[in-house]
Structure 1
Amino acid sequence: MKVDLSLYDKLLENRIRLQIMSVLVVNEAYDYNSLKELLDVTDGNLASNLKALEKAGYIEVHKTFVDRKPNTRYKCTLLGTNSFKNHLNALEQIIKSSQ
């Protein structure tokens, strides 16, 4: 069985980016501190991976203030959702082809 890797997304090879997208695809939005705690990553690691996803157009960033404190929330875009689902389909094809 020939595997179609055209849906495989190199950007989502990274474990942290894949985890971020997993969280954002199933939630309407998620804030920075909650993502950091859930994924158990450093500020620098989370920030750099969020920036890569934002640059690709996979997520949107919404910055507000809550009780005078900055609050940054992230939301998955339609492009991000579609890319994530296509990537999962490609991974599933790879798994099925090796059985």
Structure 2
Amino acid sequence: MTAYAIARLQDVTMGPAIVEYLEKIDATLVPYGGHYLIHGGTTQVLEGSWQGDTIMLGFPDLAQAQAWYRSEAYRRILPLRTANAVGDVILVEGVPEGHRGIDILG
């Protein structure tokens, strides 16, 4: 089942380290079938408070998403982001095609 890595990043310091991170991250995604679904873009807040940039990556399944995040290639570049941005990152499993809201009840 499809899985997603979702990040909400704030206070990003744009500089050489973030540029290097952006130059290298795509290659870390390839072996795990990862790809960008959202990368910043305009956000319209409808409820609550939402600050920062939203990034969403798609993966074939949760195991591939976990393997990417734990991979040596990604772990090497991760400090470039964490030292230059504040944020939250989660991995979450998607739902099957045709899922309905009521399905969580049963």
Same fold (TM over 0.5): no
Q: Normalising to structure 2: TM-score of the pair?
A: 0.30
Structure with larger RCO (C-alpha < 8 A, sep 6+):
2
Q: Normalising to structure 1: TM-score of the pair?
A: 0.31
